[in-house]
Homo-oligomer: A and B are copies of this chain.
Amino acid sequence: MIVTVTLNTALDVTYETPPVSWDGVNRVAAVHRRAGGKGVNVARVLAALGEEVLVTGLAGGATGRAVEQDLRAAGLTHALVPVAGESRTTLVVAEPGGHTLFNEPGPRVGADEFADFLRTYEALLREARAVVLSGSLPQGLPATTYATLAAFARERGVPAIVDADGEPLRHAPGGRPAVVKPNAEELARAVRLDEPEEGAEALREQGAGAVVVSLGAAGVLAVTGEGTYRARMPYAVEGNPTGAGDALVAGLALGLVSPCAWPELLRRAAALGAAAVAAPVAGAFDAGVYEAVHPLIEIV
Q: Give residues in A with beta carbon < 8 Å to B.
A: 15, 17, 20-31, 33, 61-63, 65-66, 69, 86, 91, 93, 98-105
Contacts and interface: CB of A to CB of B under 8 A. Distances in A.
A28 B100 contact: no
B62 A17 contact: no
A33 B107 CA distance: 14
A105 B30 contact: yes
A132 to B, nearest CB: 24
Contact of A62 (B20, B23, B27, B63): B63
Contacts of A27: 103, 105
Contact of A24 (B30, B101, B104): B101
Given A22-B22, A22-B98, A23-B99, A31 B104 contact: yes
Q: How many copies does the complex hold?
A: 2
Contacts of A33: 86
B100 A23 contact: yes
Contact of A17 (B15, B24, B102): B102
A67 to B, nearest CB: 9
A28 B86 contact: no
A28 B104 contact: yes
B25 A103 contact: yes
19 contacts: A20-B100, A22-B98, A23-B98, A24-B101, A25-B103, A26-B100, A26-B101, A26-B102, A27-B105, A29-B105, A31-B86, A31-B105, A33-B86, A62-B62, A62-B65, A62-B66, A62-B69, A63-B66, A65-B65
A251 to B, nearest CB: 27
A169 to B, nearest CB: 19
A69 B86 CA distance: 12
A168 to B, nearest CB: 18
Nearest to A105: B28
Contacts of A105: 27-31
Nearest to A93: B102
Contacts of A28: 102-105
A108 to B, nearest CB: 12
Contacts of A21: 100
Contact of A103 (B22, B26, B101, B102): B26
A28 B100 CA distance: 12
Contacts of A63: 62, 66
